Amino acid sequence: MEICFATNNRNKIKEVWQLLMPDFSLLSLSDIGCHEELAETQNTLEGNSLQKAQYVYQQYRIPCFADDSGLEVEALNGAPGVYSARYAGDQRNDKDNIDLLLKNLKGIQNRRASFRTIITLIGIEKEPSIFEGQIQGKIITAPRGTNGFGYDPVFVPEGGDRTFAEMEMHEKNALSHRAKAVKKLVGYLKKINKR
């Protein structure tokens, strides 16, 4: 089954491709000829995920899914949340976002945080299907590790002592928020495939 992942983020595609193969052929936006930046104008992860998937399906008529992920920090009332990618501005720079997060948490003892991913799938059933993945953890005081992307260098999952950026991709994929949501998506797609 061919399915499009509605993102231009190569890191996300690499992560998800590992979880979907060999059962599905994963297409990127460039594979289907979509080169524009997809709008994210909603104020929830659910809204952004649906908005992106709907746009791609309406324009290209190929089954697709889109995700939106956010880092929700307890002491910051759930920020950066839906604005995680552009927390420090529209330049969407990982280092700038991390620097601002650490600045805003300076002197704060409570470092509890969670990563949340919402995936919306369109084009398989009449109604969109939604899958959620979440992982609890904490924000450390300085970045560690060179793997991953986004806030991975400062996020340590609950029960662990390494950041996502200190893990190999297969280790992160065993427990990350996105992996949990994608595994639900894959389980659903496999059931559909057997019909």
How do beta strands 112-122 and 129-139 pair? antiparallel
Residues noted as catalytic:
68
For the chain, the 3-state helix, strand and coil shares in percent, each to the nearest 5, are 40, 25, 40
45 in Cβ contact with 63 (< 8 Å):
no
The Cα–Cα gap between 88 and 106 comes to 16
Residue 84 is which amino acid?
S
Distances (CA, A) of 150 to 17, 120, 122, 137, 147: 18, 21, 26, 15, 10
Q: What is the DSSP letter of 68?
A: E
The rounded distance, in Å, linking the Cα atoms of 33 and 48 is 21
